[in-house]
Amino acid sequence: MAYRLLALILLIVAKPALAQSVDCDPILQIPVRTEVTINALEDDVILQDETITIENRGNGTCDLEARFIGNDRSPLPFRIGTSLYNVSLSPDSAAFQFERRADGVYRLRLGASTRTRLILRIDPQVVPSRQAGETSESIIFELVDLGIDEVLEVRNILVVEAIPSLVKASVALSANQSGLDTLLLDFAELETGDRQRFYLQTRANSPITITMTSTNGGQLKNLSGPGEAAIDYALSVDGTAVDLRQPYTMFQPFIEPAGEVYRGEVVIGSTASAAAGQYRDEILVRVETD
């Protein structure tokens, strides 16, 4: 009996599947924190511009909407403490379509394989408080694909309002006069009981400490005479006697940045036994925030 050998060869051919077309595939880079610094004494605001980057990695056009809303999903402007803030977004070039639709709402169109940068700015609208401190609040950023009406990304951005402690101080001969860093009280010919007033002007947005230090411990020393030659004088601030035998300190709680004016008065003591000469003392006034 003859046998026949039957060989079967099975060929399996696999054909790679075509990649699925992705028309719009945006990739988002966005800051998680930004800060606004407010100089309470000069009404000066330092804004920290941030960058939002959106890249379309798809092979089609992206029609997108960028939305900013408050953390409680309220429309803009949003609040940080008692302050009111708005958000602005602007392109860093005109290479793509960009349109502002409403407060905090922007539309943009990105072509295939394109990347764009947007400049984010947080602008204070109303800042009623000038007291030093730091307050923060989060806002929500949403990126929406208008082609499929779907929210693609939801991110939180922490916005920090920073008001640093600041103080300004000056001295003047009149309460309404612009102050100086240095003031000379010239008594000319000294007589017992001579007096002169001066005004210490301060502006601060946090509690302050005022320290007065006399070079000669509250005495006028004769510049040309022996070291012990001196004339006593009395100093008062707002009617309160100041003992300058050691540094004298006053504490002032928080005051509005409009400022405070302290009235100082110097009264010359007895000059009956004083030798002829020029007498002088220096009072250093330090005003510091706590």
| Span 231-243, pLDDT tens digits | 999 999 999 999 9
Where are the domains positioned within the chain? 26-163, 167-289
Residue of 121, 158, 152 lying closest to 139 (CA atoms): 158
Share of the chain above pLDDT 70, in %: 89
Average pLDDT over the chain, rounded to an integer: 88
C-alpha to C-alpha distance for 109 and 145, rounded to whole angstroms: 10
Kindly indicate the confidence band of residue 2, based on its pLDDT and cuts at 50, 70 and 90. Answer: very low
167-289: CATH topology = Immunoglobulin-like (2.60.40)
Token pair listed for 161: 């309002």
- Smallest Cα–Cα separation from 198: which of 217, 183, 218, 186? 183
pLDDT on residue 127:
87
Q: What is the pTM of this model?
A: 0.77
Select from 90, 87, 98, 113 the least CA-distant residue to 63: 98
- pLDDT tens track for 121-172: 999 999 888 889 999 999 999 999 999 999 999 999 999 999 999 999 999 9
pLDDT in tens, 18-46: 444 468 999 999 999 999 999 988 878 88
Contact (CB, 8 A) for 203 and 262:
no
pLDDT at residue 18, rounded to an integer: 41
pLDDT at 255: 66
Do 167-289 and 26-163 have the same topology in CATH? yes
Contact 207, 289 (CB under 8 A): yes
244 CA to centre of own chain: 37
3-state SS, residue 24? coil
Confidence at residue 1, expressed as pLDDT on a 0 to 100 scale: 42
Q: Which fold has domain 26-163?
A: Immunoglobulin-like (2.60.40)
Q: Which pLDDT does position 245 carry in this prediction? A: 94
